[in-house]
Amino acid sequence: MTPLTLTLMIFAIMLVLMAVRTPIAIAMFVAGCLGYAAQAGWSPLASFLNSQAFARFASYDLSVIPLFILMGHFATQGGISRALFGFASSVMGRFKGGLAMAAVLASAAFGAICGSSVATAATITSVALPEMKRHGYSGRLSTGTLAAGGTLGILIPPSVPLVIYAILAEQNIAKLFAAAMVPGLIAMVGYMIAIAIYVRVVPGHAPDNAVRGEPISLQSLKGVVPIALIFLLVFGGIYGGFFTPTEGAAVGAAATFVAALALRELTMDKLRQCFYATAEGSAMIFMIFLGADLMNSALALTQVPAQMADVVQAWGLSPLMVVSAILLFYVVLGAVMDELSMILLTIPIFFPMVNALDFGMPKEAAAIWFGIMVLMTVGFGMLAPPVGLNVYVVNSMARDVPIAESYRGVMPFLISDILRTLLLLFFPGISLWLVQFIG
């Protein structure tokens, strides 16, 4: 059996298992086991599993993942999202489509302490959707806005997918967080502009009169001040050299816990839910890690990924063309896989290829920029049909809105995503400016 045939069979096994609703971690694990055993034998496979599982999960860097997840659950269960949306409504309510813009602003602020796209979408939807319906916003605009706003959970640091990229590509987590900040803010502003244009070009999806929110008061600031302080504490501490990103995640989780207690909405039952959900989410991510490690090891034995890199270099394609092709592949892959699985499966294959190219900048800068481009494209996949995980999550909470309407609702935001991705692709300095400024 040729290496190429074996590679195709490994992917075919994974896709067949996914088609029958096997969890992605198990699908990658089984495909990797069969591919590895077919080349090296069952005994080396057992030895690999015995050593690799411990080596992977004993990594100190991985502890940042459950800590950021716990931080997000404390914010969700602590009532911070409700206070955030109230403040955002006070700020944006004066504009036409203001409640939709407020949902985007609240999503961005919540994403600054969450790190998960799906969690951000679900949390802000639970607060914003009833208000948007009550004020006459269409199901299309409401669900589309909330699904798009959810992607800000991974675009604005801390971002769990970005942490995973940093671990796989052996890059500095703090620098990647800094690089994501400006693109994340551009995404937020781009979504607001998309809403402003949409409600004027396509009438009937937002009330003609602006919704006047409550005036900004000390009460409306109660959800904003804790988030601002936590954000400054975590990232100020990291970039000030007071603690590492892992220690910063621990400080952030503790500070969010205190903020949730101060808002008096975190009961013992909710506290248990936070820990259970964190354990469940972390276990899922670590299982995907193990499955992706095994599958990548099986693919490495075929030497096809290394041969692909040689072929790409032999073709003489420009570095931008190679990156563009990889990003298009991510868009297609987003139709069948979630963001974590995509990153874990593909970065070990694509990163060495990209790292060998000459972008006219230092290798570290190119690696950081490529990570941001991957993050942008992964966010696109969370919205794009036929899957669009964020769309499904939001639509499941808006049972009276057909799924087709929700997909139509995300189209203006997908256009914004495309424009932003092109901007960052051709002007890498936008992503790298803050990294260079911080030094």
- Predicted pLDDT of residue 10: 87
> For residues 169 and 414, what is the distance between their CA atoms, to the nearest angstrom?
28
Digit-coded pLDDT (tens) for 343-382: 888 888 888 888 888 888 899 999 999 999 999 998 888 8
Query: Which of 29-33, 213-217, 300-304 has the highest average model confidence (pLDDT)?
Result: 29-33
Q: pLDDT tens digit string along 111-148?
A: 888 878 888 888 889 888 888 888 888 889 999 999 99
State the average pLDDT over residues 198-227.
70
- The better pLDDT of the pair 301, 417 is held by 417
Burial of 227-263, coded b for 16+ CB within 10 Å and e otherwise, reads beebbebbbebbbeeeebbbbbbbbbbbbbbebbeee
Domain containing residue 405: 3-438
Closest by CA position to 147, among listed 432, 381, 424:
381
383 has a pLDDT exceeding 60: yes
Position 379 scores a pLDDT of 86
CA distance to 258, 375, 384, 418, per residue, from 425 (Å): 40, 12, 19, 10
- Rounded to an integer, the average pLDDT of 300-328 is 80
pLDDT, tens digit (0-9, with 9 covering 90-100), for 149-165: 999 988 888 888 898 89
Per-residue pLDDT tens digits for 68-97: 889 888 888 887 777 778 778 777 777 788
Structure tokens at 249: 């995640």
**How buried is 11 (Cβ within 10 angstroms: 0-12 exposed, 13-18 middle, 19+ buried)?**
middle
Number of domains in the chain: 1
Core vs surface per residue 281-296: b (16+ CB within 10 A) or e: bbeebbbbbbbbbbbb
pLDDT interval class at 188 (50, 70, 90) = very high
Say what the pLDDT of residue 203 is.
Answer: 83
